[in-house]
A and B are shown apart, each in its own frame.
Chain A
Amino acid sequence: MNMTIAWITARGLFGRRRFLLLLPMPIILIGITAVGLAANAPADELAEAVLYGLGVATILPLVSLIVGTGVLGSEIDDGTVVHILAKPIPRGRIILAKLAVAASVSAVATAVPMFVAAVMIDGVRLGLAFAAASVAGALAYSALFLALSVLTRRPVLVGLLYVVIWEGLLSNLVAGTRTVSVQHYVVRFATDLSGSAWFETTVSMAVAAVMTVVVTIAGTWLAARRLRSFSVAGETS
């Protein structure tokens, strides 16, 4: 962890226009919850649609994608990453600083509105469960999207394909693919922590916990490894 890199990363992230995309998402989540409650929608249906459908399946991965690819992918795109790389700093520490910023920002940006919405629907226990599950999810997603930033030149596209095709489509059709779906880990955490029977996933708590750790560590390790052999494109390439 390197504080200077974390500081530059955070300054860069908040200074980019793309970051403004994050603002409406929490408002939408809380707003729709309020509308649902006002219309006397049943709590279980509202939780399923808003907390799961909108929060866990949409806002959490999207926020993590925007932030996770923003902390390193944007710097690679515009070439400023060279300023950090031309320093005698182990590449693993650069990645850890980037991950810390990305995961913290995504965790705060999702856990807070999820907490508020869940409290509005059912109470503090559901709120805390979703907040904690979102933090774990934000960490795993951030590591994944950070790795994509160094592994591919189109991290946002590849990340979107993962979220939409793999998690959104396949994991609802083919149960086996849920084992590698961050979305289902988050649902399992939220379910077990809240004791609620409203949500369904076939992924067990043990698998969800182990896989969250595996995805986080593997993503971080891959990103650091790839950054070690980072090449600047030459004039003829």
Chain B
Amino acid sequence: MTDLELRGVSRWYGNVVAVNDVTMTLGPGVTGLLGPNGAGKTTLLHMMAGFLAPSRGAVTIDGAPTWRNPAIYRKLGLVNEREAVYGFLTGKEFVRASAKLHGLPDADAATRRAIALVEMADAQDRRMDTYSKGMRQRMRVAAALVHDPAVLLLDEPFNGMDPRQRMHMMELLHGLGAQGRTVLFSSHILEEVEQVSGTVQVIVAGRLAASGDYRTIRRLMTHRPHVFAIRSSDDRRLAVALMASPSVAGVTLGKDGLTVHAGDYGTFTRALPRIALDQGVRVRQLIPSDESLESVFSYLVSA
């Protein structure tokens, strides 16, 4: 049972605050670190992994600071976002070098076990510069797991993976969490977090915006007001009918069609086809206009 703890952690570069007063405790199981690009996820992960000093606050694993403390890597495995590997080594040599650097008594057995875990035994004797991005990623995970760490940190681990590799990596993380390891991965994609972890830490603009059970946060996100741009065969007629629907909070009729403010995503998208059909109006275009993650996150921050 290993806890990763952040207490009042901030990090700034000159006048730019990258991480602002974040406090969290990560225990066994899988936690997703969710946030839009540039929110400070990588900075936070680097501080957790001992590769960056907090400007203020402390990051500890079981009470020991991670900064300037190489001994911490006995308990910690890191898969960072930069996918640089020693391309001149084979996958097996790479993982085995990790095992040796950790001073493991039986480096060969640990290497075999780690490579089997990521299902890369078939490609282990190939040079790593011949690997696809997903394969490299899995070998890097194998190298990070070779010493059986209690804490595993992964920065955007699903980037560049095909759906099958993604599924496999999700199962792997799930399994590691179920074994009682503290697993944290960062992502800017909601669905990834949904499938892997029950617990999320949402970070927006360097601040911890929400934390806790995924479903609660997901509900907050889907039940926010939505804006849609609609074009149809008869905009005015559709506008009148939409205003009568309880799922719609407001309609603006413009030259380029309608802008509809819906109270709730699910109810509105189910109601629209029925209303259009009843009125005999053909919907030509339906575009959710504020679906960017940034808008989802900014809503979350203000909620």
Contact = CB atoms under 8 A, between A and B. Distances in A.
Interface of A: 2, 4-5, 7-8, 11-12, 15, 78-80, 82-91, 228-232, 234-237
A104 B239 CA distance: 80
A229 B53 contact: yes
B272 to A, nearest CB: 39
Contacts of B51: 82, 85-86, 230-232
B78 interface: yes
A88 B102 contact: yes
B18 to A, nearest CB: 4
Interface string B27-43: 00000000001101111
24 contacts: A4-B97, A7-B97, A12-B86, A12-B88, A80-B85, A80-B86, A82-B51, A82-B78, A83-B86, A83-B143, A85-B51, A86-B73, A87-B70, A87-B101, A88-B72, A88-B74, A89-B70, A91-B70, A231-B46, A232-B80, A234-B43, A235-B38, A236-B13, A236-B40
B49 interface: yes
Contacts of A88: 70-74, 102-103
Contact of B18 (A4, A87, A234): A234
A83 B98 contact: yes
A11 B52 contact: no
B100 interface: yes
B88 to A, nearest CB: 4
Contacts, number: 93
Nearest to A231: B52
Interface in B1-58: 11, 13, 16, 18, 37-38, 40-43, 46, 49, 51-53
B85 A83 contact: yes
Contact of B43 (A11, A83, A236): A236
A11 B71 contact: no
Contacts of B70: 85, 87-91
Nearest to A15: B88
B102 A232 contact: no
A2 B101 contact: yes
Contacts of B101: 2, 4-5, 84, 87, 89
A234 B76 CA distance: 19
Contacts of B16: 236
B86 A11 contact: yes
Contacts of A12: 86, 88
Nearest to B37: A235
Contacts of A91: 70
B255 interface: no
Contacts of A87: 70, 73, 98, 101-102
A11 B87 CA distance: 10
B277 interface: no
B284 interface: no
Interface string B217-237: 000000000000000000000
Interface of B: 11, 13, 16, 18, 37-38, 40-43, 46, 49, 51-53, 68, 70-74, 76-78, 80, 82, 84-86, 88-89, 97-98, 100-103, 143-144
B52 A234 contact: yes
A79 B84 contact: yes
A12 B11 CA distance: 34
Given A4-B100, A231-B53, A232-B46, A82 B88 contact: no
Closest 5 interchain pairs by CB? A79-B84, A234-B43, A15-B88, A79-B82, A232-B51
A177 B38 CA distance: 48
Contacts of A15: 88
Given A85-B51, A86-B49, A231-B53, A11 B18 contact: no
A82 B53 contact: no
A86 B86 contact: no
A231 B13 CA distance: 12
B106 to A, nearest CB: 15
A237 to B, nearest CB: 5
B126 to A, nearest CB: 15
A7 B18 CA distance: 38
Contact of A234 (B11, B68, B86, B143): B11
Given A8-B86, A12-B88, A89-B101, 5 more contacts: A7-B97, A79-B80, A86-B73, A88-B71, A236-B16
B46 to A, nearest CB: 5
B16, B52, B76: which has the most chain A beta carbons within 10 Å? B52
A5 B72 CA distance: 19
Contacts of A89: 70, 101
B159 to A, nearest CB: 13
A39 B98 CA distance: 56
A82 B86 contact: no
Nearest to B47: A234
Nearest to B46: A232
